[in-house]
A and B are shown apart, each in its own frame.
Chain A
Amino acid sequence: MSLALEDPRVIEFDVRTDEMLVNMGPQHPSTHGVLRLLLRTDGEIVHEVVPHIGYLHRCAEKIGENLSPPQWVPYTDRMDYLSGMNMNLGFSLAVEKLIGMEVPEKAMTLRVIAAEMGRIAGHLVGMGAYGLDLGTFSPFLWAFREREIILDLFEELCGARLTYSYVTIGGVTHDLPQTIQIPPGLAQLTGRPFDQRLSWIEACRLFLDWMIPRIREYHTLLTTNQIFVKRTAGLGVLTREMAISHGCSGPVLRGSGVDFDLRRDGEQIYTRMYSGYQYEIPCPPFSDAPPEVVLGDNWCRFYVRMNEVAQSLRLVSQALDRYPTAEGEYRLPFRIGQKLPQDECYLETECPRGAMGFYIVGDGSPIPVRARAKSSSFCNLSVTGPLCRGILLADIPAIVGSLDVVMGEIDR
């Protein structure tokens, strides 16, 4: 028996290539913004990944130390700019917790509508962009078609399409508009006249009725698509222990099998918004998953998000039912110069990308001593290094994309 190395046919398999450092980003289409990954590769195999962040750092926390809370609300919009409503809500609730304010039922109902519509819009982008990462273009166009209607509805609600500042301290800035013109995208998709006028609630219901059957189409297009399953299932497996130790939250944590959602398990000031609503918290193992799927892999994280969209649609529908009978004002007064107590508090809320925490320290003046924003994407991104060790270069977009990070929130 000769050694394998002496066999001229197999010698090529023993050739080691030199290690190479490859920069992926900060201007790379699949890094979702300005994320730079420094890869140490040996051929196609990645040995080490070092994420470099901070390219979008805008000193939001420093600005927060020089503005009163209502003035800082627009800055929270620009953190996770794909779900500004949820960012506004997290910060407003933290300030309300600090000053001990409880908003009326009507404001809470409007907040549920805004936050859950924002969650749908945020997850739609996450889903579409994940399709792009894996090389399919159609889901992205579909997702943006749906998101466009949500943005049109938000525009009628508060005048803005991306940076809403709609949820503010004490409630929301506007009540639901009485009559609006139907969003053009919705008119086209439902075959209605473009100049039809209807109430905001009717338009929203029209959207929900149209959107609910679309979820099944997405599952056919992506979730159960064999190519998609092969690219995602069994890859990027994040164990439960690792997810907890790395402080992951939201769909990334739930994808690893931790049944935890702040809407149900959070603090009372937040959970009372959702009391009485019927919804489920999707958490693997899923009975309808393809056989290749492993707990905590890319596919699980993606499927959790898709199921959350369906649950958010349910929540919006219930909130619309409640709205006509909801009591109280849509906003309690909070002045720009109102003094904050000599106290401090920390509050986490469930945003589309995970638990967004705000820590506010007051010293008796209207401007906080410290306005800290703990980002969920920041923690979720920190698992990139351990997850991407020893994998193929082509799988990096599949893993980083499944974490669904938004750089604006990481860098603040």
Chain B
Amino acid sequence: MTVEEVYQYLCELLGEDRILGLEAGARDPFVIVAPESIAVVADVLKNDSRLSFDHLCDLCGVDWRAVPERKVACQEPRVEVVYQLYSFTHRHRLTVKAKLPRWRDETEKTLPEIPTVSGVWAIADWHEREAYDLVGIRFIGHPDLRRILCAEDWVGHPLRKDYEFPLEYHGIRGR
């Protein structure tokens, strides 16, 4: 199935309030999904016999924020969670995206939240830990959400655009 056909099919199954849109003009066309229903959508994507996306190639977070050094302005500050899927049965690919606010409140203290898909694809367990560690996304219902690449007591999420490198870590000078 092409991405357009997958999008139409998903809309019929799950409705417009869960499947928010399709970006057909991108180099890899992607489907935008409402963050709170990602677990339901993932379950359909994997278990529906016409879709059967049994392989989660990649899951990562992208932080969008205006950065002064960049000459190009960012219009819409957000955090995206990007899922790359492949089906060994039908040999088709799909990119799914969920857009989250950068923080859950104004004070910029609490991380944005999205339901986990680790119950659908086992590898999502580690990928979500990495996205939590580096981008700072909290996956609700994850069995063991702790840092995976950075040290356990590390502060901050390095792939955030406004991340500040620590001046000191256990007596080691940062800069």
Give A residues with C-beta under 8 Å from B.
Answer: 53-54, 57, 59, 61-62, 65, 97-98, 100, 242, 244-247, 258, 260, 265, 267, 343-346, 348, 355, 357, 359, 361, 363-365, 367, 369-370, 372, 374, 378-379, 382, 411-412
- Cβ 8 A contact of B27, one of A53, A57, A98, A379: A98
B123→A245 contact, CB < 8 A: yes
11 further contact pairs, Cβ within 8 A, besides A345-B26, A345-B28, A372-B58: A61-B134, A242-B122, A246-B122, A247-B55, A247-B57, A247-B123, A344-B26, A346-B57, A365-B70, A370-B60, A378-B126
B62 partner, pick from A244, A370, A412, beta carbons under 8 A: A370
Across the interface, which residues of A come within 8 angstroms of B149, CB to CB? 53-54, 57, 411-412
Central interface residue in A57, A62, A247, A411, by most chain B CB within 10 Å: A247
A102 CB to closest chain B CB (Å) equals: 14
Closest to A364 in B: B72
Question: Chain A contacts of B123 at CB under 8 A?
Answer: 245-247, 379, 382
Residue contact B125 to A382, C-beta cutoff 8 Å = yes
Q: Please indicate which of the listed interface residues A100, A244, A355, A364 has the most CB atoms of chain B within 10 Å of its own CB.
A: A244
Which of A54, A245, A346, A364 is within 8 Å of B122, CB to CB? Answer: A245
Is the Cβ of B88 less than 8 Å from the Cβ of A258? yes
Q: B158: which A residues are within 8 A, CB to CB?
A: 59, 62
* Bound Cα distance A372, B57 (Å): 13
Contact B62 A382 (CB under 8 A): no
CB distance from B44 to the nearest CB of A (A): 17
A257 to chain B, nearest CB (A): 11
Give Cα A65–Cα B134 distance, bound, in whole angstroms.
13
* Chain B contacts for A98, CB-based, 8 A: 27
Interface membership of chain B positions 118-162, coded 1 if the CB is closer than 8 angstroms to chain A and 0 otherwise: 000111011000000010000000000001111100000011000
Residues 69-91 of chain B, each 1 if its beta carbon lies under 8 Å from chain A, else 0: 01110100000001010001001
CB–CB A365/B57 < 8 A = no
Quote the shortest CB–CB distance from B137 to chain A (angstroms): 14
Q: Contact at A245–B28, with CB atoms within 8 Å?
A: no
On whether the beta carbons of B54 and A244 are closer than 8 Å, the reply is yes
Known contacts A355-B57, A363-B74, A367-B70; A54/B84 CB under 8 A:
no
Q: CB distance B56 to A247 under 8 Å? A: yes
Q: How far apart are the CA atoms of A203 and B116 in the complex, in Å?
A: 53
Asked whether B37 is an interface residue with its Cβ less than 8 Å from the other chain, the reply is no
B126–A382 contact, CB under 8 A? yes
Give the residues in chain B near A348, CB-CB below 8 Å: 57
Count of B residues near A, CB < 8 Å?
A: 35
For the complex of A and B, the 4 pairs showing the least CB-CB separation, nearest first, are A247-B123, A54-B149, A374-B58, A345-B27
- Can you name the residue of chain A whose Cβ is closest to the Cβ of B121? A245
A57-B55 in contact (CB<8A): no
State how many angstroms separate the Cβ of A387 from the closest Cβ of chain B: 12
For chain B, what secondary structure do more than half of its interface residues adopt (helix, strand, loop), or is it mixed? Answer: loop
Contact partners of A53 in chain B: CB under 8 A = 148-149
A359, B58: Cβ atoms closer than 8 Å:
yes
B56 to chain A, nearest CB (A): 6
- The residues of A that contact B95 with a CB separation of less than 8 Å are 346
| Cβ contact within 8 Å between A260 and B88 | yes
The answer to whether A357 touches B58 (Cβ under 8 A) is yes
The smallest C-beta distance from A341 to any residue of chain B, in angstroms, reads: 8
- B64 in the interface, Cβ–Cβ < 8 Å? yes
Give A243 Cβ to nearest chain B Cβ, in Å.
10
* Chain A: minimal CB distance from B107 (Å): 25
Is A265 a contact partner of B91 (Cβ separation < 8 A)?
yes
Cα A61 to Cα B61 with chains together (Å): 12
- Shortest Cβ distance from A379 into B: residue: B123
Residues of A within 8 A of B151 (CB): 54
Can you spell out 15 A-B residue pairs with CB atoms less than 8 angstroms apart? A54-B150, A61-B159, A100-B27, A244-B54, A245-B54, A245-B122, A258-B88, A265-B91, A357-B58, A359-B58, A365-B72, A370-B159, A374-B84, A379-B126, A411-B149
**Chain B residues, Cβ within 8 Å of A247:** 55-57, 121-123
Q: Which of A367, A369, A382 has the most CB of B within 10 A?
A: A369
Cα distance, A363 to B71, chains bound together (Å): 10
Cβ of B95 to closest chain A Cβ, rounded Å: 7
Residues of A within 8 A of B84 (CB): 346, 357, 359, 374
Contacts of A57 in B (CB 8 A): 149-150
Q: Which residues from A are CB-within-8-Å of B70?
A: 363, 365, 367
Residues of B within 8 A of A244 (CB): 54-55, 88
Distance from A66 Cβ to chain B, minimum over Cβ atoms (Å): 9
Q: Is the CB of A344 within 8 A of B27?
A: yes
CA distance A260 to B88 in the complex (A): 8
Residue of B nearest to A340 (CB): B72
CA distance A100 to B60 in the complex (A): 23
A347 nearest CB across to chain B (Å): 9
Chain B residue nearest to A50 (CB atoms) is B144
* Docked CA distance A246–B121 (Å): 7
> How distant is the Cα of A183 from the Cα of B122 in the complex, in angstroms?
47
CB-CB < 8 A to A364: which residues of B? Answer: 72
- A370: which B residues are within 8 A, CB to CB? 60, 62-63, 159
Q: Interface digits, B14-35 against A, CB 8 Å rule (1 contact, 0 not)?
A: 0000000000001110000000
